[in-house]
Amino acid sequence: MSKMMDAFNEQIKNEFYSAYLYLSMSAYFADQGLPGFASWMRVQAKEEVTHAAKMYDYVLSRGGSITLQAIEAPQSSWESPLAVMEAGLEHERFVTGKINGLMELAIQEKDHASKIFLSWFVTEQVEEEQNFGDIVNALKLIKGEGQGLLMMDRELGSRTFTDETQAPAE
């Protein structure tokens, strides 16, 4: 079981890194005068902390131990709003790969409880990639500027935080 618990510890770091990266992206948007995008990213960062917490609680519930790892400094500037969102999408694809790796390990280790636990994250990653992908597509349509960008900023600013880890996956 410790192999599995070690892998969860590694993923807790990845989820906190995601929060750090999105907070950095939020700061970039705030600096660019796009408060709606900045707010959307703040919500995204909060979500990532709940992902880390869900894994943290799970490790403890299985009698595993937590060893928090160092979090790398994230990138702090990008070329454009589109470049930020493309980097976000790329990062979510990276995380999906990590979650799939955890699932493969759980299958290999015949750790049925971890398989069930991880299925929430498998579903969540579909949503995560879709959220970033939709924004990337919309930014491409409006060519990332002008009136369209301001309208998107207003729309993204309406996103509110809900702790989805407290609800069963759909």
Name the residues that contact ligand FEO, by CB under 6 A.
Answer: 15, 18, 48, 51, 92, 95, 128
| Residue 45 Cβ vs ligand FEO, minimum distance, rounded to whole Å | 10
Q: Which is nearer to ligand FEO, 89 or 149 (CB)?
A: 89
Q: Which is nearer to ligand FEO, 95 or 106 (CB)?
A: 95
| Residue 91 Cβ vs ligand FEO, minimum distance, rounded to whole Å | 8
Single-letter amino acid code for the residue at 1: M
Name the burial class of residue 7, with classes exposed (0-12), middle (13-18) and buried (19+) by CB atoms within 10 angstroms of its CB.
Answer: middle
| Residue 169 Cβ vs ligand FEO, minimum distance, rounded to whole Å | 13
The pair of structure tokens assigned to 80 is 């454009």
| Residue 11 Cβ vs ligand FEO, minimum distance, rounded to whole Å | 9
Name the residue among 49, 45, 50 with its Cα closest to residue 21.
Answer: 45
> Which runs of consecutive H residues, i.e. helices, occur in 32-80?
35-61
Neighbours of 18 (CB within 10 A): 25
Distance of CA 99 to the CA centre of its chain: 11
Rg (CA), the chain: 17
Q: Which is nearer to ligand FEO, 129 or 142 (CB)?
A: 129
Q: Which is nearer to ligand FEO, 86 or 92 (CB)?
A: 92
Distance of CA 130 to the CA centre of its chain: 12
Q: Which is nearer to ligand FEO, 90 or 104 (CB)?
A: 90
Single-letter amino acid code for the residue at 82: L
| Residue 128 Cβ vs ligand FEO, minimum distance, rounded to whole Å | 4
Cβ-proximal residue to ligand FEO, closest one? 51
